[in-house]
């Protein structure tokens, strides 16, 4: 089942906290954000980035 655009995908707690603290509280807000910007957040690892990219792809969206 696709992650709703108004929620974050199921990723680890450190990555979820990093996104929330940076103001990204939904999948919709992550569309177009440069991958390098997300990767620089403390707690964001390759697996979380991959899961976010996959969740965006399910809606025809992508990271910047």
Residue of higher predicted confidence among 3 and 52: 52
- Whether 48 is covered by a domain: the verdict is yes
**What string of DSSP letters covers 9-32?**
-S--HHHHHHHHHTT--SHHHHTT
Q: Is residue 37 part of a domain?
A: yes
* Boundaries of domain holding 20: 13-57
Does 4 map to a domain? no
Q: Is residue 45 part of a domain?
A: yes
The pLDDT tens digits for 10-62 are 999 999 999 999 999 999 999 999 999 999 999 999 999 999 999 999 999 99
The dihedral built from the CA positions of residue 27, 33, 35 and 41, taken in this order, carries a sign that is: negative
Question: How many folded domains does the chain comprise?
Answer: 1
Residue 2 lies in a domain: no
In a domain, 39, yes or no: yes
What does the pLDDT read at residue 55? 96
pLDDT over 80 at 1, yes or no: no
């Amino acid at each position: 089942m696709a992650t709703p655009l108004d929620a974050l995908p199921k990723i680890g707690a450190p990555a979820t906290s990093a996104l929330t603290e940076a103001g990204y509280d939904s999948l919709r807000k992550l569309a177009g954000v440069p991958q390098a910007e997300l990767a620089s957040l403390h707690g964001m690892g390759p697996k979380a980035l991959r899961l976010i990219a996959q969740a965006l792809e399910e809606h025809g969206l992508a990271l910047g």
